[in-house]
Structure 1
């Protein structure tokens, strides 16, 4: 009887410990306050503006790269309201387009809408970080599933933005995205430099 009690107690402690690790020491545990006061300060009206170049990878549930992509983005702002269009080209040959409508409020909170979102996305910019949470419906060609998504963007000193996103279904991570974004003219200059070498 004592052995069964110890096994049950061990299982409970393992589950509790696992939940604590996820809440305290994981990607999901981040909050905007973690980046308050960090420089350079991320202002989506300034740093997500004009033509942007993007490239990244999507990891599947096994941790292996399931897709690679490049994207051209373009954002325009009228005060605190902006529209950002995205055109993705995947290594499979597939293309995807999205248009975000973004609203930045005086307290740094963000409202985000797009055609493939279920409801409205919400987020916050603070210090060098921007967080955005939303539910996204995948294309029918990818199953049409609705995934809970959290995006984190981190502004680097040279103006490059590092984007990391997690996609979850029923609380389980099913995919992760890592990408860079930067002004298109900076990307073009880098391509010209590589071509010249």
Structure 2
């Protein structure tokens, strides 16, 4: 009887742990945005100057960073270069990043930046874009390898919103919200 109870306890513990882990993820279907206007074209939107305002919230919802970003984008051939300069009003973080992004087919993108591990991948679908990558995120005196799952939605031709989910072991540890507006 004791062994049977122990086995049942272990099965229940594994089930509850699995349910907890899968319940902590974000699962958005890009295809549902395929027919929503305006169509998002990152090469058109980011060609020129863009201003962004954002914040980072930890798992408790507390704001841990508030920042602005000046983005200078250029398109040469099939490569989009984003030169980003960050200024923090609350918290600290990266102050400069340069993305190199290229189209891989009609709706696929790839990119890299100096603080990104490996290759970032993107998928375009109507007014949305999913952008995924991994980076070593500095926090205090250490850094953590985390995965970013960015969702970008176009509101109009000159305004987009970016919602990022920062994950570790598949669990959302923080969320980033950024509003971006193309300069006239």
Give me the TM-score of the superposition, normalised by structure 1. 0.79
User: Which segments of 5 or more consecutive residues in structure 1 lack a partner in the other structure?
Assistant: 186-197
The match for 2:48 is 50
Whether 1:172 aligns to 2:174 is no
Q: Please give the residue correspondences for 1:125-164 in structure 2 after superposition, counting only pairs within 5 Å.
A: 125-139=124-138, 141=140, 143-157=142-156, 159-164=158-163
1:154 deviates by 0.3
User: Which segments of 5 or more consecutive residues in structure 2 lack a partner in the other structure?
Assistant: none
Counterpart-to-counterpart distance in 1, 2:73 and 2:41: 13
Counterpart-to-counterpart distance in 1, 2:140 and 2:47: 31
Whether 1:98 aligns to 2:97 is yes
Q: Please give the residue correspondences for 1:1-197 in structure 2 after superposition, counting only pairs within 5 Å.
A: 14=16, 18=20, 21=23, 28-92=26-90, 94=92, 96-139=95-138, 141=140, 143-157=142-156, 159-185=158-184
* Contact 1:138/1:145 (<8 A) preserved: yes
* Contact 1:98/1:114 (<8 A) preserved: yes
* Contact 2:73/2:80 (<8 A) preserved: yes
Describe the shift of the 1:11–1:118 C-alpha distance in structure 2 as closer, same or farther (beyond 3 A). Answer: same
* Contact 2:66/2:91 (<8 A) preserved: no
Q: Which has the higher helix share?
A: 1
SS in structure 2 of the partner of residue 42 of structure 1: coil
1:20 deviates by 6.1
Counterpart-to-counterpart distance in 1, 2:154 and 2:49: 17
Counterpart-to-counterpart distance in 2, 1:108 and 1:14: 38
Counterpart-to-counterpart distance in 2, 1:50 and 1:150: 25
Describe the shift of the 1:141–1:184 C-alpha distance in structure 2 as closer, same or farther (beyond 3 A). Answer: farther
1:126 deviates by 1.3
**Structure 1, residues 116-171: CA drift from partner, whole Å, max 9, x if none?**
01111111111000011100122475622211111110000353111000111222
Name which structure has the greater RCO, CA cutoff 8 Å, separation 6+: 2
Question: Aligned residue pairs: how many?
Answer: 181
